[in-house]
Structure 1
Amino acid sequence: MTTPAHVTSIEALHAFRGALIRFADEATSAVDSLRQEVLRTMEWIEHDRPGYWKQQVKRNFDGVAQARTQLEIAQMRTYEGQGPACIEERKRLANAKARLQFAQDQIQVVRHWSLKLQRESDDFRGRNGHLEGILKRELPMAIGKLQRMVESLDRYAERLPRQDATESSATESGKETKPTAPGPTKKE
C-alpha cells in the first residue's frame, strides 16, 4: 500500500526544479572546464616540453663545445714558460656541462611525467565518465519527471473546490466550522 504524499508547497517544487537545472548547467560547465584543462596540460607535457628540452640539449652541446674550445686555446698559451691555470675557462666548461646534464635529465623527467599524466588522465576520465552519465542522462530524466509531477500537482490543485472566504477565515482563526447536513429536525 502506498502512502499519500504530503505536499505543502508546489512553489517549492518549482524552485527545486530550477535549482536542479542550475546545478546541472554549472556542473556540466565545471566538468567541461576540467576536461579542457587536462587536455591542455597533456598537450604541454607531451608535445611542448619534449621539443623545448631537446632544443636546450642541442644548445647546451654547442655551449660545451665552445667552452671546451676556449679552454684548449687558453691551455696553449704560455706565460714565461708556465702554462696558464685556465680557472675561468674550466669553470665555464663545468657550468656548460652542468647545463647540458640538466637539460638531458629534464628529457627523462618529462617522459616520466608524461606517462604518469597519461595514467592519471585515464583514471580521471573513468571517474568523470560516471558523473557525466549522471549529468547527461539521469539528471535530465529527473528534471523531466519532477516537471511532470509539478504539472500533475498543478492540475490537481486547480480541480480542488475553492473554500469560501468565511470558511478560510474561520479556519485561520482557529474555529472549526461544522458542516450542516440536511436532515430531520427534532420537534419539541
Structure 2
Amino acid sequence: MSGPANITDIGALDEFRRALIRFREELGVAVAEADSDVKSTFVWLERDRMLHWKRAVPRLDEELTSTKAALFRKEMQTMGTGQRPSTIDEKKAVGRAKARVEDARERFDKTRRWLMTLEREVSLYKSHMSPMASLIDRDLPEAIQLLRNMALALEAYLATPNVTLGEQLDRARGNVASMRRSGELRTAAEELQDLAAAEVLQADERVLTAARDAALRAVKTEHALPQHNAPAQADANAPGTQDGGVTP
C-alpha cells in the first residue's frame, strides 16, 4: 500500500499540469512534422524521381541512337580528295550520350531500390510510433485531467472548515435527540416493555391453542363411540334372539 502524498503546494500540481500540456503540444507538432517529412520524401521518390528517370531512360536512348546514326553517316562520307572526314566530334557525342544513358539507368535503379527501402522503413516507423500516438491521444490527456481533478479535490479539502471534537460530540447528541423525538431511537426501558407485552401475547396464544386442540379431540371421540356399539345392536336384532328365545 502506498504511503500518504506529501503535497505542500497545490500550485505545483497546476504548474506540472501546464507543463504536460505544453509537452503534449510540442510532441504533437514534432510527430506531425516527422510524418510530413516521411510522406513528402516518399511522394518525391515515387511520383517525381521515379517518373523522371523512367521517362529519361528512353529519351536518352533515342539521343544515343541519333548520335550513333550521325557518326555512321559521317564515317560513310568521303571528301573530294578521297579522304574520310574527321569523326572525332561525333564519337565524343556518342560517348557523352552513352554516359547519360548509363547514368539515367543507374539513377532509375537506385531510386527504385531506395523507394523499396523507404516503404519498409516507413512501415517500421509507423509501428514504432504507435505507442507515441497513444501517449499523445490518450495517456497525456488522462494524466492532465487527473492532475486537474487532484488539484480540485485538494482545494475543496482545504476549503472545508475544521471541526473540533467538542463540536462533533454536540452534533452527535443533537442527532440522537432528534431521532428520539421522531421515534427512530427508543430507550432500553421502552424496548423491555415491548418484549414483556410480546411474551404475554405469546402465552395467550399458547392457551388458546391448547383449548382448541382439546375441543377437537373431544369431537373426534364422540364420533368414534357409535361405531364401536354397532356390532352389539346387530346381534340383538338377529333371528332367534327375539322374545328372549335362544337359537338351538
Q: What TM-score does the superposition give when structure 2 sets the normalisation length?
A: 0.62
In the TM superposition, residue 104 of structure 1 has moved relative to its aligned partner by: 1.2
The one-character-per-residue Cα deviations of 1:130-185 (angstroms, maximum 9, x if unpaired) are: 11111111111111111111111111122255xxxxxxxxxxxxxxxxxxxxxxxx
If you compute each CA radius of gyration, which structure gives the higher value, 1 or 2? 2
Residue 46 of structure 2 is matched in structure 1 by 46
Partner of 2:56 in structure 1? 56
- How far 1:109 moved relative to its partner? 0.6
Q: Name stretches of at least 5 consecutive residues in structure 1 with no aligned partner.
A: 162-188
**1:65 aligns to what?**
65
Percentage of pairs with the same residue: 34
What does residue 159 of structure 1 align with?
160
What does the per-residue CA deviation read over 1:59-111, in whole Å, with 9 as the maximum and x for residues that have no partner?
21121122112112211222322223411100100110110111111111111
CA distance in 2, matches of 1:3, 1:57: 73
Residue aligning to 2:87 = 86
Name the residue aligned to 1:149: 150
Q: Count the aligned residue pairs.
A: 161
Look up the match of 1:32.
32
Distance 2:158 2:48 in 1: 63
Higher helix share: 2
Deviations 1:29-83 (A, max 9, x none): 2111211211111111122211100221122112112211211221122232222
Whole-Å separation in 2 of the counterparts to 1:83 and 1:10:
99
RMSD, aligned CA = 1.4
Runs of 4 or more consecutive aligned structure 1 residues displaced over 6 Å after TM superposition: none
Any residues of structure 2 matched to 1:1-188 within 5 Å, and which? 1-79=1-79, 80-159=81-160
**Separation of aligned partners in 1, 2:116 and 2:89:** 41
Instruction: Measure the CA separation in 1 of the matches of 2:112 and 2:21.
Output: 42
One-letter amino acid matched to 2:33: S
Change over 3 Å in CA distance of 1:17–1:160 after alignment to 2: farther
**TM-score, normalised by the number of residues in structure 1:** 0.80
CA–CA separation in structure 2 for the residues paired with 1:73 and 1:10: 92
- Alpha-carbon distance in 2 for matches of 1:109, 1:102: 10
Q: In the aligned structure 2, how far is the partner of 1:17 from the partner of 1:7?
A: 15
Aligned to 2:165: none
